[in-house]
Amino acid sequence: MASELRALVFTGEHQMRVAHEPIRRSGAGEVLVATRLSAISAGTELLVYRNQMPDAMDADSTIAGLSGVLAYPLRYGYCSVGEVGEIGTGIDKDWLGKRVFSFQPHASHFVTRVEELIPIPDGVSFDDAVFLPNVETAVNFVLDGRPMLGEKVCVIGQGVVGLLTTAVVGRFPLRDLLVLDGIEMRRERGLAFGAQVAFEPSQETLARERLAAGAYDGADLVFEVSGSPVALDMAIRLTGFSGRVIVGSWYGNKRANLDLGGAYHRKRIQLVSSQVSTVTPELSGRWGKARRFETAWEMVANIRPSQLITHRFNLEEAQAAYVLLDQTPEKALQVVFEY
């Protein structure tokens, strides 16, 4: 096991460094994990990179590896897979060498309690397992959206989370599944992941016409996962009477300017906020995080999301990785760090 770890630290807007530190050995109830792969969650992490984080907001109070507030200097990231290389006292020896997932910032090694580890199922590669948080998010969106037989569904945004949402909801017996995105590569992936048709945002009129065909006045269910506040207004326009809009995007400090004085006022549209740190109270009697993780692993095995990896970087190349996602998003889908 190496004696030094490397960790990514966001130091300011568009600025970062790689910290080199001695590895803290695992204590009682802890293990040391050597990271094999960590994935950039572009939607969330670009807010950190661009300094579009809400002031004084907790990084994530439900994840031990993301304690503290969203403020520079900041260690961030939450998609890490690796192997247990050392165990502390009180830990079963079966953990040694086990392949695991953990919600941890980008780093070559980390020490954590075993309660913060999720064993990777047999037959699931590291490349697929690193998508667990995004697949879990997609599962959570679908649980909140509750698609039904014969419904017309629309997914706005075909980044990684949007594509995975398309793949999960596309397994339902829907009447129609539409996706919208401004990038051709993402639209093509959306079709490959189960959508019947893909539109550019500028083709909103065509999307509305398709959603209104037959005995419909619009979409029954729309997932807004683009990360763009202007898309929320589009989602409302695409939704029919008593339809549901699942707002999965995190806008950070960007404001959404909504037109709520027109069709929205009379169409009884439901705007539902969906975030993966909790399970909706309406389902909590039957669903908890353990069941959701079990379902997410099944989706990982079925979807094989590693096909979405387009770029691999060393941690020392992190600046180039974020510049790629920030300035040329049409060239990349999932970007990962290899250790």
Largest CA distance in the chain: 66
Inform me whether the pLDDT recorded for 337 exceeds 70: yes
Which tens digit of pLDDT belongs to each residue from 299-310?
999 999 999 999
Instruction: Return the C-alpha torsion angle 281, 284, 290, 292, nearest 10.
Output: -70
CATH code for residues 4-120+305-338: 3.90.180.10
pLDDT at 59: 54
The mean of the pLDDT values for the chain is: 94
Inform me whether the pLDDT recorded for 61 exceeds 70: no
pLDDT at 261: 86
Which tens digit of pLDDT belongs to each residue from 83-140?
999 999 999 999 999 999 999 999 999 999 999 999 999 999 999 999 999 999 999 9
> Residue 291 to residues 80, 107, 136: CA-CA distances in angstroms?
21, 28, 11
Inform me whether the pLDDT recorded for 296 exceeds 60: yes
* Structure token digits, residue 11: 């130091």
Which tens digit of pLDDT belongs to each residue from 128-182?
999 999 999 999 999 999 999 999 999 999 999 999 999 999 999 999 999 999 9
Q: Assign a CATH topology to domain 134-282.
A: Rossmann fold (3.40.50)
- Map out the domains of the chain as residue ranges: 4-120+305-338, 134-282
pLDDT at 58: 54
